[in-house]
Chain A
Amino acid sequence: MSILKSRETILALAILALLAAVASRFPGFVAPANLARVFTDTSPLILLALGQMAVILTKCIDLSVAANLALCGMVAALMNGAGVPLPLILLAVIALGAMLGAVNGLLVWKLGIPSIVVTLGTMTIYRGTIFLMTGGAWINAHQMSEGFKAFPRAVILGLPVMAWIGIAGIAAMALLLTRTPLGRAFYAVGGNPHAAVYAGISVGRTQFAAFVLSGALAGLVGYLWVARYAVAYVDIAGGFELDVVAACVIGGIAIAGGSGTVAGAVMGALFLGIIKNALPVVGISPFWQMAISGSAILLAIAFNTLSQRDGGRIILKKAEAAE
């Protein structure tokens, strides 16, 4: 009974129902090869949702992920143009992403500014920085080296590297959250900050770590995004932070912090990914995507909040009974 009640089970059933609905008209959609394609396509969202999840667990929110991604992607493209070898580029974007995350984290940790204000601000600063660096110019496919573009698509053991990075991210995050002190700290800080302090956990430092993690993942995805779509400009992944938050909310990560699982975040991302890939197949205009993910956020948050609510206490039982 408790298994049936868990959010992850219900979400898994919702995903299966969604797949079944699409498959009833277009059986080709659920062919293994196509499902693998959908997973690969959703990998960036999964990776970002995992980072966002760590941040949300600690009662914060990171709205700067998409801008961070775009900035790191642009830096990757510029470095590639300057002839820097790919492994160095990868290291550089992850480091840069982590650094941008650290800026968010420091402002939250050292100055105690609410994360939503910090990341609303850094969101525009990071994206504006791309413009300052490039003057608004685009970097197109022909300006990128073949190796740079080919890496995320290279197939190993039947799956592209992009999908493998997604799988590695899921595994690493699952280990981090369930098997390390830092992972426990994320939950402790979000569950009850005061109790966490008394247990010897620094709330600010833990939130800082979550922002660095989210930033590093955004940096990595920045490279993957630019290499995959073979274009870099100021507005890439514009508004993607909403999809990332949506994936977490749909995945049952409590926005008040302290509760949520890797499986939930991954399935939340997959849910959105499947809808995005199924819309053109079913013949619905992609312009529906935004309204659908908005509705999905509202349904998910309503469902999660209402199912967790305790009934409250009746203080005046006699009066209640008398009515």
Chain B
Amino acid sequence: MSAVLHTQRQIPDRLTRPAARALKSWEALLAVVAVAIFLLNAWASPYFLDPWNLSDASFNFTEKAMIAFAMAMLIIAGEIDLSVGAIIALASTVMGLAMTAGAPTPVLVLLGLGTGLLCGAFNGLLVARFGLPSIVVTIGTMSLFRGISYIVLGDGAFTGYPDSFAWFGQGYVFWVITVELVIFTLAALVFGVLLHRTSFGRTVYAIGNNATAARFSGIRVDRVRFILFLLTGLMSGIAAICLTSRLGSTRPSIASGFELEVVTIVVLGGVSILGGSGSIVGVVLAAFVMGLVTFGLGLLNVPGIVMSIVVGALLIAVIAVPRLWTMARAKSGKR
């Protein structure tokens, strides 16, 4: 029973499944968990069911989930990007510099998106063009991107963003529906269609299951990888705009630790960390679960660092429990 023998990968399928099997799926389980946590929260705190509170609570996951959609595709393709938090820091710093120079809001937004794309392209170039392992590359760029923010800002901060810029992170489209929630929903739809309804999405699964076979069947593997890093950079740029707008300031430590939470959402969403399987629906549900858990704990006055213990334990548990389950079943089957 060595680790080597565990490396079998699930074959992804979208075949129509009987209802009984669909109920057993990871996504169904997540949905049940999400509803359970929702009810538990409503029971534990009288303030939970207030629509404005719930709207505020959505900030717990919207920015991270935007990145998680792109990260899910990257992980399905067998790569990873640990530099997303650092990309946010760098994009936010670039926007801060432009703001200080008097740039108007549209320019700030373009710069945020552009910085995200450039950082993603840099990661993608190193991984896809030069064939370097993505874990090390993005650990390196994580230091590099955030390091540039530290060089620019030191222990200082950019504040005083224009009022019109505040719309992205603090604005409402109507009633309690925030701008970020709309961006999150649009991103979920776009990535859902891209991954599950286009040939590009199929190539992502193919690469994650067997990159060599994918290459032999005519898929331009390196180009797909590059595009995925580009998308992750772009989504980090969008998240940077939202986060900077919401906080109204830029510090070099902005969004530190985001990479952990983004990867946790993706893995919690049922995406195999070894690549090859997973769905956007799962990621959306996982984002809800994470958001509800952190918001519920927050209402109960649990400090942030204790929440991070919960997040870390959740990350390990969601992978460990199914494996323990199958191991236990295999054992009882032998008897």
Which A residues are within 8 Å of any B CB, using their own CB?
Answer: 61, 107-109, 111-114, 116-118, 120-125, 127-129, 131-132, 136, 193-194, 197, 202-204, 207, 234, 242, 245-246, 249, 255-256, 285, 287-295, 297-298, 301-302, 305-306, 309
Contact = CB atoms under 8 A, between A and B. Distances in A.
Interface in B117-151: 126, 130-133, 135-137, 139-148, 150-151
Contact of A114 (B130, B274, B305): B274
Contacts of B126: 298, 302
B2 A297 contact: no
Interface string B179-223: 000000000000000000000000000000000000000000000
Contact of B135 (A116, A122, A292, A298): A116
B169 to A, nearest CB: 25
Given A117-B315, A128-B306, A298-B137, A109 B3 contact: yes
B19 interface: no
Interface string B295-335: 00000000101101101110110011001100000000000
B135 A128 contact: no
- Chain B residues touching A, majority SS: helix
Given A123-B312, A131-B306, A285-B151, A301 B2 contact: no
A202 B147 CA distance: 41
B135 A291 contact: no
Interface of B: 1-4, 6, 80, 126, 130-133, 135-137, 139-148, 150-151, 154-155, 252, 260, 263-264, 267, 273-274, 303, 305-306, 308-309, 311-313, 315-316, 319-320, 323-324
Contacts of B260: 120, 123-124
A142 to B, nearest CB: 25
A204 B5 CA distance: 10
A121 B147 contact: no
Given A111-B323, A204-B3, A255-B135, 6 more contacts: A117-B316, A125-B313, A242-B142, A287-B150, A294-B143, A298-B141
Given A125-B313, A255-B136, A285 B144 contact: no
25 contacts: A111-B320, A111-B324, A113-B316, A113-B320, A118-B316, A120-B260, A121-B312, A121-B313, A128-B306, A202-B2, A203-B4, A204-B3, A207-B3, A242-B139, A246-B140, A291-B148, A293-B143, A294-B140, A294-B144, A294-B146, A294-B147, A297-B139, A298-B141, A301-B136, A302-B132
B141 A294 contact: yes
B137 A301 contact: yes
A120 B143 contact: no
**When A and B form their complex, which 7 residue pairs have the shortest distance between CB atoms, in order from nearest?**
A291-B147, A294-B143, A294-B144, A290-B147, A128-B309, A297-B140, A124-B312
Contact of B319 (A109, A113, A194, A255): A113
A73 to B, nearest CB: 17
Contacts of B140: 246, 249, 294-295, 297-298, 301
Given A113-B319, A290-B146, A302 B3 contact: no
A288 B13 CA distance: 48
B147 A289 contact: yes
A112 B323 contact: yes
| Most B CB within 10 A of own CB, among A113, A124, A125, A298 | A124
Contacts of A255: 133, 135-136
Contact of A193 (B3, B133, B312): B3
A201 to B, nearest CB: 9
A215 B273 CA distance: 24
Nearest to B130: A302
B309 A124 contact: yes
A291 B144 contact: yes
A285 B323 CA distance: 48
A214 B158 CA distance: 40
A321 to B, nearest CB: 24
A58 B234 CA distance: 34
B306 A132 contact: yes
